[in-house]
Structure 1
Amino acid sequence: MLPKAIKKSVIAGLAFALSLPFTAFGEETPFNLAPPQLNAQTFILMDYNSGAVLAALNPDQRQYPASLTKMMTSYVIGDAIKQGRIRTTDKVTITDSAWGRNFPDSSKMFLNLNQQVSVADLNRGIIIVSGNDACVAMAEHLSGSTQNFIDTMNKYVAQFGLKNTHFTTVHGLDDANQYSSARDMAIIGAHIIRDLPEEYKIYAEKEFTFNKIKQQNRNGLLWDKSMNVDGMKTGHTSQAGYNLVASATNADNMRLISVVMGVSSFKGREIESKKLLQWGFNNFDTFKTIEGGKAVSNQTVYYGSSGEVPLGVLQDAFITVPKGRNADVKARFQLDDKYLYAPLTKGQKVGKVIYQLDGKDIAAVNLQVMQDVEEGGIFGKAWDWLVLTVKSLFD
């Protein structure tokens, strides 16, 4: 039997590749909830836990990302720290190419030539004050050259399944071959939050002082007391306009990620982002439907060392529901194939729970095998063959 929590809904969304147990429907929400009107070329509002897209305008349109690029730069650095390939205490020598003097009229950390700077300070210089010089310094330190670092950035693009993103710089200054989309930026943001929680904490810091120069985080929503915004990143160039990726939580621990791109003013990107986040919190709730690691069904296995296998999800599964509609949702269990055959591998997808509201399929959660099942012995397999043969006579 499925737990009671499964009787909850999801706004049909575009579940993204985050190792979540959701299947991607590839279509917009079927609910008639009009999103707010925003003054942006493109935007998206995504629930972090469920992956549901709650509102969007041209979410796959390719845009100049500007300094939103630094989110991927940050991811590469944060992952290297997590893996132990570099340490936050490591010292980096500032080369001529990373010298702050090479970035006139753009955001920088004000690095000096031949200065010794820690990885921790450079990382903060990238995330908090959007230092272009710090990006080059870290790229050279970690990968030997900026091009090698860019290649790593684009490897993560492929790994995350991003369809409309390509990086050609480590900092985001406009380049004709560099682009991203609102949806892809939301996915990058979700990866930082999920995969690198220590890295994400830096995004909430409001200021950073280096070389006796104090600079504030350009994400003004961090100071907004009416919301609990704890990240993420701003970006601006003459061609990109004003961009902002923001993430916030509410009292129910629901987390939303908003992306607005191509806004016409510095303050406007904050106004539009806040409008989008507040609309999401006012109209939706997110619930855990299946607990990770807990079986929701036991199914017969043929030709295996075990005759039964538990099915569930390895990670907690969530759905996002319009407020007041959670009790109206129904769920049904469905296997991909009529029978399960060994060998089976833990984590293997073998079916799904499909959620339905008002007669429409609105989302699905992949069911996974909870433990390995090896092939059985010859006598057991022969018996299962006989059982299946008899069953086929009555199908």
Structure 2
Amino acid sequence: MRQIARRIAALAAAAALAASLAAPGAQALDTPARAAIVVDLTSGAVLLEKNADEPLPPASMSKLMTLNMVFEALEEGRLTLEDRFPVSEKAWKMGGSKMFVRVGDRIRVADLLMGVTVQSGNDACVVLAEGLAGTEEAFAEQMNRRAAEIGLTDSHFLNATGWPDEGHLMSVRDLARLAERIVTKFPEHYRHFSIREFTWEDITQRNRNPLLDLGLGVDGMKTGHTEAAGYGLTASAERDGRRIVMVVAGLDSVGQRKTEAEKIVGWAFREFRTGVLYAAGQPIVDAQVWVGDAPSVGLAPVSDVVVTTPFAQSDAVSARIVYDGPVPAPIAAGDVIAQLIVEAPEMPPVAYPLAATADVGPGGLLARVEAAARLLLRASASPDGAAE
């Protein structure tokens, strides 16, 4: 077997998609943020990245990992929203943003989640951490183990809050991955991030996300600020069925954070278009079969092939199919035997698995004879008489 990479130029479907997306040109974007990333969750395309893999102090944006741990416990049935956790003296004494819990109280998980998602309460985070793991330190160890399991490769946690601590770090790419996980796996809990205010102990606090009321489609996530981290924001927005996640870190002020985040979200929706190139199950090409009861088998995407392109380069979408071929029989319908690599200018390539559309059984005597004949013809055609 040898690697066969067939480039399919000007695919009919790609051309159709390009025609539907054609519009005035996209403009490149720069940002003063120390690190930034924008991901189109509908297609998986990265629209913008700057120092995306650099581990940085995340401040309160790392509370997304604390919330992920709580959401997982709720989904697994180890925890309920009506469970109550006691408030320790350590939690009560926490500085910074606070829910204003009182030592000795026993607070429902549902209320603690509001205290974190709306009020960014450091005290609420510690109550949750101690309730789940006994101590905040033990909870941080659990966070690190889980982070490795879910693919957060540039993160290390030392506490549940993002409180300044040397070595407590996250990259903006990891924050985007975590945001995507929360949006897609915990939609019933994600809605808490869009709640505008929450009152506890007769103290009403507004949601700290500066983009919620700007009509941008933003419906979560989390702000962050410390002296070491600067001002940051992880946000998710949806328009017309298309969702993005944006993370900025290391900005200089509250005003700059709001301005930059608003600019980036608007740019992501304005300058890019997302569309379906191929539907799941739609055969797009045949793969050669080796010694089977059929000479070829159709290949179709396992899921919709959704492509994001800049408006100006929409007509330059191309694709190539890569597989080790001919593919030996037997083959079962649904077996993944190839990849569709979709490429567009200024965008990283995205790979989609392609599966066989039919069963192909092993060939009989005639198929084996024909395969042997093809090998002999290939050998005789090569300059040195040896098979490739």
The TM tier, using the shorter chain, reads 0.7 to 0.9
Instruction: Kindly state the Cα deviation for residue 305 of structure 1 after the two structures are TM-superposed.
Output: 10
What is the CA–CA distance in structure 1 between the aligned matches of 2:297 and 2:68, rounded to whole Å? 37
Work out whether 1:63 is the aligned partner of 2:44: no
Q: What is the TM-score when the length of structure 1 is the normalising length?
A: 0.80
Deviates more, 1:335-344 or 1:189-198: 335-344
Work out whether 1:133 is the aligned partner of 2:123: yes
Work out whether 1:351 is the aligned partner of 2:342: no
Larger Rg: 2
SS state at 2:161 partner: coil
Q: CA RMSD in A?
A: 3.2
Deviates more, 1:255-264 or 1:153-162: 153-162
**Out of 176, 182, 195, which is 1:205 matched to?**
195
Q: Is the 8 A contact 1:3 1:296 kept in 2?
A: no
Can you list the C-alpha shifts for 1:81-119, whole angstroms capped at 9, x where unaligned? 122221112222223333x2x113x11211122222111
Q: Is the 8 A contact 1:254 1:285 kept in 2?
A: no
Instruction: Kindly state the Cα deviation for residue 155 of structure 1 after the two structures are TM-superposed.
Output: 2.9
5+ residue gaps, structure 1, are 10-30
Write the mapping of 1:286-305 to structure 2, written as runs, cut at 5 A. Answer: 286-292=274-280, 294-297=282-285, 299=287
> Quick one: structure 1 residues 233 and 342, their matched pair in 2 at CA, closer, same or farther if it must change by over 3 Å?
farther
Deviates more, 1:214-223 or 1:114-123: 114-123
Q: What is the TM-score when the length of structure 2 is the normalising length?
A: 0.81
Question: 1:88 matched to which residue of 2?
Answer: 81
**Out of 367, 370, 391, which is 2:353 matched to?**
367
**Out of 64, 83, 90, which is 1:97 matched to?**
90
% same residue: 33
Can you list the C-alpha shifts for 1:297-347, whole angstroms capped at 9, x where unaligned? 564655889997664343333211111543442333x23201224677887
Q: Give the AA of the match of 1:181.
A: S
What is the CA–CA distance in structure 2 between the aligned matches of 1:230 and 1:168, rounded to whole Å? 28
What is the CA–CA distance in structure 2 between the aligned matches of 1:361 and 1:276, rounded to whole Å? 17
What is the CA–CA distance in structure 2 between the aligned matches of 1:303 and 1:86, rounded to whole Å? 55
**Out of 306, 327, 335, which is 1:340 matched to?**
327
What is the CA–CA distance in structure 2 between the aligned matches of 1:132 and 1:362, rounded to whole Å? 38
Can you list the C-alpha shifts for 1:269-296, whole angstroms capped at 9, x where unaligned? 1111111111222211111223345554
> Quick one: structure 1 residues 93 and 343, their matched pair in 2 at CA, closer, same or farther if it must change by over 3 Å?
farther
Question: 1:12 matched to which residue of 2?
Answer: none
Write the mapping of 1:1-80 to structure 2, written as runs, cut at 5 A. Answer: 4=13, 8=17, 33-36=27-30, 38-80=31-73
Question: 2:245 matched to which residue of 1?
Answer: 257
What is the CA–CA distance in structure 2 between the aligned matches of 1:88 and 1:305, rounded to whole Å? 57
> Quick one: structure 1 residues 303 and 152, their matched pair in 2 at CA, closer, same or farther if it must change by over 3 Å?
farther
Work out whether 1:112 is the aligned partner of 2:121: no
Q: Give the AA of the match of 1:171.
A: T
Can you list the C-alpha shifts for 1:215-242, whole angstroms capped at 9, x where unaligned? 11111111113x1111110011111111
SS state at 2:211 partner: helix
Instruction: Kindly state the Cα deviation for residue 363 of structure 1 after the two structures are TM-superposed.
Output: 2.1
SS state at 1:336 partner: strand
> Quick one: structure 1 residues 331 and 132, their matched pair in 2 at CA, closer, same or farther if it must change by over 3 Å?
same
Instruction: Kindly state the Cα deviation for residue 361 of structure 1 after the two structures are TM-superposed.
Output: 9.1
What is the CA–CA distance in structure 2 between the aligned matches of 1:230 and 1:247, rounded to whole Å? 6
Q: Is the 8 A contact 1:203 1:231 kept in 2?
A: yes
Write the mapping of 1:269-348 to structure 2, written as runs, cut at 5 A. Answer: 269-292=257-280, 294-297=282-285, 299=287, 311-332=299-320, 334-341=321-328
Q: Is the 8 A contact 2:298 2:358 kept in 1?
A: no
What is the CA–CA distance in structure 1 between the aligned matches of 2:140 and 2:282, rounded to whole Å? 40
> Quick one: structure 1 residues 354 and 213, their matched pair in 2 at CA, closer, same or farther if it must change by over 3 Å?
same
What is the CA–CA distance in structure 1 between the aligned matches of 2:262 and 2:145, rounded to whole Å? 32
5+ residue gaps, structure 2, are 1-7, 19-24, 379-388
SS state at 2:324 partner: coil
SS state at 1:203 partner: helix
Q: Is the 8 A contact 1:311 1:368 kept in 2?
A: yes
What is the CA–CA distance in structure 1 between the aligned matches of 2:227 and 2:333, rounded to whole Å? 50
What is the CA–CA distance in structure 2 between the aligned matches of 1:95 and 1:303, rounded to whole Å? 70
Instruction: Kindly state the Cα deviation for residue 167 of structure 1 after the two structures are TM-superposed.
Output: 1.2
Instruction: Kindly state the Cα deviation for residue 209 of structure 1 after the two structures are TM-superposed.
Output: 1.4
Q: Is the 8 A contact 2:343 2:349 kept in 1?
A: yes
> Quick one: structure 1 residues 310 and 125, their matched pair in 2 at CA, closer, same or farther if it must change by over 3 Å?
farther
Deviates more, 1:342-351 or 1:234-243: 342-351
Q: Is the 8 A contact 1:355 1:361 kept in 2?
A: no
Q: Is the 8 A contact 1:346 1:368 kept in 2?
A: no
